Amino acid sequence: MITIIGNGKMALAIARGLKNDVEVVGRDEEKLKKFSKITGVKYYLLNNFDITNKTIILATKPYALESLNLKGKAKEVISIMAGKKIDEIKKYIDAEIYSRAMPNVAAEYLSSTTAIYGSDKAYEIFSKIGKAIKVHSEKELDIATAIAGSGPAFLALVAEAIADGGVLCGLNRELSYELTAGLFKSFSSIEKKPSDIKDSVMSPAGTTASGYEALEEGNVRNSFIKAIKSAYEKSQKI
């Protein structure tokens, strides 16, 4: 049994992905009831909840860590809280093993890319909801958070802009979204470096080269590099 502490969007995505052998713990009973109705999992109130010998996925907001009222010693705590180091988590939750992970909202569709710093058990759990990738330090985990955790929002911006471009040129909105969704699915299946994909598409003086020039004029590449750096730096201040 895996105990998820927290009942927000990421907790919901993980519960939907794992489906069986999951329970959820939270503060608000009405929200927990809705969570349980959607996922079918049992729920418990947070106050003085006994975590003895449990495997915990800590999915609360980072600011809520200090106010958790838990008793007992967990078998393992796997934190998905952005920016919270293991040394700080140890101050508030007792456990035999501590790990950190950063999944993304695609967990609901068993397609999360999850960075793992910690145990083989944590790797095993998150491998069930997509691809798990082990990193070697908490710093790497925080950098991975900017890519794997925040990345879906950045890609959503790209997808929306591409679809809007199609509408600008004359496609109806539904068709433009469908083509854009297909584009992302196609791209994810190509097992090549991004630069190799670009070079295979861009012919001399062609349509792709013209569009690429427009992107470079808009400083798009640098903006995305700065977005990852900014998200990482924010995680160090939480």
Pairing of strands 112-117, 130-134: parallel
What are the Cα distances from residue 134, in Å, to 2, 17, 116, 163? 20, 20, 5, 34
Q: What is the pLDDT of residues 132-169, one digit of tens each?
A: 999 999 999 999 999 999 999 999 999 999 999 999 99
Tell me what pLDDT residue 238 has. 78
Tell me what pLDDT residue 21 has. 86
* Under 8 Å between Cβ of 3 and 51: yes
- Best CA proximity match to 201, nearest among 186, 219, 216: 186
Q: What is the pLDDT of residues 169-189, one digit of tens each?
A: 999 999 999 999 999 999 999
pTM of the model: 0.87
pLDDT at residue 30 is higher than 90: yes
* Under 8 Å between Cβ of 62 and 102: no
Q: What is the pLDDT of residues 100-133, one digit of tens each?
A: 999 998 998 999 999 999 999 999 999 999 999 9
* Under 8 Å between Cβ of 17 and 71: no
All structural domains of the chain, each given as residue ranges with its CATH number in brackets, are 2-135 (3.40.50.720), 152-235 (1.10.3730.10)
Tokens at 221, concatenated? 């590449």
